[in-house]
Amino acid sequence: MTDAPWWRSAVVYQIYPRSFADSDGDGIGDLRGIIDRVDHLARLGVDVVWLSPIYPSPQDDAGYDISDYENVDPTFGTLADLDELIATLHDRGIKLVMDLVVNHTSDEHPWFVESRSDPQSAKRDWYFWRPPRAGMEPGQPGAEPTNWVSFFSGPAWTLDPATGEYYLHLFARKQPDLNWENPQVRSAVYRMMRGWVQRGVDGFRMDVVNFISKAVGPDGSLPDGVVQPGTAPYGDGSAGYICGPRIHEFLAEMNREVFAGLSTVPITVGEMPGVTVEDAVLFTDPARAEVDMVFQFEHVSLDQGATKWDVHPFRLRDLKASFGRWQAGLAKTGWNSLYWNNHDQPRIVSRWGDDGAYRVQSATMLATVLHLHRGTPYVYQGEELGMRNMPFASIADFRDIESLNHYAVAVERGEDPEQVLAALRVMGRDNARTPVQWDASPHAGFTTGTPWIGVNPDYPEVNAAAQVDDPGSVFSHYRRVIALRHDEPAVAHGDFTMLLPDDDAVYAFTRAYTDDRGTVELLVLGNFTGDEVRAEVDGWNGAELLLGNYPDAPDGVEQLRPWEARVYRRTFSS
Ligand code: TEU
């Protein structure tokens, strides 16, 4: 057997607590709602739950704006509820990973309140406060200290009129960036993390953690970004904050300061937009002790242009090129996360599958292809049911700050509101945030009250109760791919070889794993179209069919039905 760390054969399930299950009828999901549904997770067979933020928060960015790192927001419950959730999960052999959001806090966090109160405050330097651009007055257009644009539209700097200085926020105005150059900030974060480990949490998913080191010049200045065609007055500031000069130092320090001496080392996942394969190797090299795995974005940007709202057609060969590069780049050293969905992405069956006639086949094909790669797979709540994008009628149906801000700014700029809405329907994050569909009762069994965001009207058809006992359901197929990772070492530990890189219909690859009993090879085939297609793969006739997403036997190894997926195995004993 292998001495690889346990999380290499684990599957993570992400819970977005607002939308998972509501126990008290206020229309918002909560911790007791999760406790009531732990059976669903155990039945699916997942090893780890990643819980999106449950800390006290003004909820400007749905909890990613934290005002107290050490408590639970009353909307979600209490610390005692969290303890009970941890114990309930542990009883079922499931670990709990918390979301760690320390690139920024809420502007209502006491640290920022104190920082803002006075330029002489002891916490002034905990954030990035800067005077207007040289020679300009506070508030004058273009007087921001850099030309960086925020991820949620508008400048990444907001003026505090009381002092005439600006503060940096890469995300919303209510999410000021912490200054990691300041050692007091770092030790406050490490202290807080140690507290959660002592409480019993098993790890951290670290929000935009590769943004924490900014390219601060000797004089304290930050660099302007290059202005791309059509983006004026904003420049692309990412060179000033993505994988900045001290990022590896900070992560290694965090690891030492929080985990040194622990008998069980918590799992760490670095959410890292814009990370390169080369950097990912460094971040996840076990010898460097920074993070266990990266969670990167290259594949989910393939159908986007200059911004995420500029939606392009998806080409399968681009996906293969991207995944293939990551598989090859991390083959010897390092580890990646595998995901289609999270709370920031539209639903995969609507995005790259067929959410009409072939919903079940395409959702199960997508599951098979993803989970058979090398890396740690993530299932985002509802993905295991094949949940679709939401048919949003108007802007009033959206809740997400990213979508609302983009709509306001784009319409103000003179764009056609219907076209702006059309892009929001395709890419908007709220697609992933509609309530989990538990059964066919009102509000899909999510709440007895009024849900905070609309329930997808397809719930009478698409829901957990209808699927858990049906062997042909999306849920049952997810159970099988998860079990396969646990049972067949080639899935977690085997080498990866991409086949048919230029084929725009068939995704094909092999995995190979050798131990003292011999060699196991797997062939994975997925049809990304609604047509019958041929997969030109030789030498697999007679191999054992390990998993498929059609109930009846195939016509032959090379013939694939619409959205069909199959996994074959052959063994060579030593
Ligand atoms: O997201 C980081 C990120 O860069 C993007 O995925 C971003 O959220 C968005 O989709 C850009 O279009 C993380 C969290 O996952 C996200 O929910 C938060 O809004 C963000 O950080 C800020 O904390």
Residue 502, number of CB atoms within 10 A of its CB: 8
Considering all CA atoms of the chain, what is the largest pairwise distance in Å, rounded to the nearest integer?
76
Report pLDDT for 168.
98
pLDDT at 230 over 90: no
Report pLDDT for 553.
85
Closest-CA residue to 291 (of 340, 330, 263): 330
How sure is the predictor about 231, in pLDDT bands with cuts at 50, 70 and 90? confident
What are the tens digits of pLDDT across the range 154-200? 999 999 999 999 999 999 999 999 999 999 999 999 999 999 999 99
Is 274 near ligand 1, meaning CB less than 6 Å away? no
Place of tokens 């503060």: 167
pLDDT at 323 over 80: yes
How sure is the predictor about 209, in pLDDT bands with cuts at 50, 70 and 90? very high
344 Cα–ligand 1 center, Å:
6
Residue nearest to atom 10 of ligand 1 (CA): 344
User: What share of the chain in percent tops pLDDT 90?
Assistant: 98
Start-to-end Cα distance in the chain: 15
How sure is the predictor about 325, in pLDDT bands with cuts at 50, 70 and 90? very high
Is 488 near ligand 1, meaning CB less than 6 Å away? no
Report pLDDT for 1.
54
pLDDT at 134 over 70: yes
Mean of per-residue pLDDT scores for the chain? 97
Closest-CA residue to 107 (of 126, 120, 79): 126
Catalytically active residues, by annotation: 207, 271
309 Cα–ligand 1 center, Å:
15
Q: Both tokens of residue 196?
A: 């959660």
Report pLDDT for 574.
80
| Ramachandran angles phi, psi of 548, nearest 5° | -150, 170
Mean pLDDT, residues 227-251 taken together: 95
Q: Both tokens of residue 49?
A: 């739950």
Mean pLDDT, residues 513-534 taken together: 97
pTM score, two decimals?
0.98
User: Percent helix, strand, coil in the chain (nearest 5)?
Assistant: 30, 15, 50
For 149, counting Cβ atoms within 10 Å of its Cβ (0-12 exposed, 13-18 middle, 19+ buried), the class is buried
Residue 224, number of CB atoms within 10 A of its CB: 18
* Identity of residue 568: Y
151 Cα–ligand 1 center, Å:
8
Is 37 near ligand 1, meaning CB less than 6 Å away? no
CA distance 574 to 30: 53
Mean pLDDT, residues 249-262 taken together: 97
How sure is the predictor about 447, in pLDDT bands with cuts at 50, 70 and 90? very high
Is 66 near ligand 1, meaning CB less than 6 Å away? no
Is 453 near ligand 1, meaning CB less than 6 Å away? no
Q: Are 550 and 561 in contact (CB under 8 A)?
A: yes
Q: Which domains does the chain have, with CATH numbers?
A: 7-105+183-474 (3.20.20.80), 110-168 (3.90.400.10), 494-573 (2.60.40.1180)
Q: Are 99 and 193 in contact (CB under 8 A)?
A: no
Q: Which ligand 1 atom sits closest to the C-alpha of 61?
A: 19
pLDDT at 3 over 90: no
326 Cα–ligand 1 center, Å:
21
Report pLDDT for 555.
84
CA distance 482 to 475: 11
Mean pLDDT, residues 290-305 taken together: 97
Place of tokens 């983009």: 406
Place of tokens 């610390």: 79
Alpha-carbon distances of 571 from 364, 386, 520, 521, rounded to whole Å? 25, 33, 5, 6
Report pLDDT for 387.
99
Alpha-carbon distances of 411 from 396, 403, 405, 421, rounded to whole Å? 15, 12, 10, 10
Q: Which ligand 1 atom sits closest to the C-alpha of 64?
A: 23
Is 298 near ligand 1, meaning CB less than 6 Å away? no
